[in-house]
Amino acid sequence: MKKVLATLIVVLLLGVLVGVLQAQQPGQPRGTIMGVVYEDVNGDGKCVNTGVAGEGPVPNVDVEFVSSDKATVLTMYSSADGAFGLYSAGYSYWQLTAKPSAAWVVTSPNPIYAPIDAEKPAASGLFFCVRKASQARVVLPASGGVMASGGLLATAVAGITFLLGGIMLEIRRRR
């Protein structure tokens, strides 16, 4: 029994050692992705170096990283200073998507992309702007917008014209 236990421990240790050595292979291409989540006070989609008071970092916002082959999907969250990052990222065309809680709304482009390859092993200066959901302005399409622009009248005239044109062609065909 002791021999079996000792053999099992040795096999497990060898497995862990092989896994660690494979993870640390210097030949594996790696890169870095770094960014920050900031509050967008006025909701204009811009939140970095704008001069608007109160546009500071937002902690605990989930950021999802998806590799171009969709084989790797990781979720990180922004730190107390709003920073997020993926270190030792494999070479890929990474898609980053901010997924804040219901208390926040993303006002900047979402998702954003970070290509990591031999020519550009680091992507930094990436930003997500979020605004408190209670302050977000929702713009819905105007009801009756087609009628207000005269589009309904134009559609009616075009329809009647096609109908009359069809009748005229049918009369000609029957002669």
Q: Tens digit of pLDDT per residue, the chain (175 long)?
A: 555 344 444 434 444 343 444 444 455 667 888 999 998 888 788 888 777 888 888 899 989 999 888 888 888 888 899 898 888 888 888 899 999 988 888 988 888 898 888 888 888 888 898 988 887 666 656 665 555 556 667 777 888 888 888 898 889 888 8
Do residues 33 and 94 touch, judged by C-beta distance below 8 A? yes
Do residues 96 and 127 touch, judged by C-beta distance below 8 A? no
Do residues 142 and 148 touch, judged by C-beta distance below 8 A? yes
What residue ranges define each of the domains in the chain, with the CATH number in brackets? 27-135 (2.60.40.10)
Alpha-carbon distance 107 to 41, whole Å?
A: 10
Compute the half-sphere exposure of residue 117: CA atoms within 13 Å on the CB side of its CA: 6
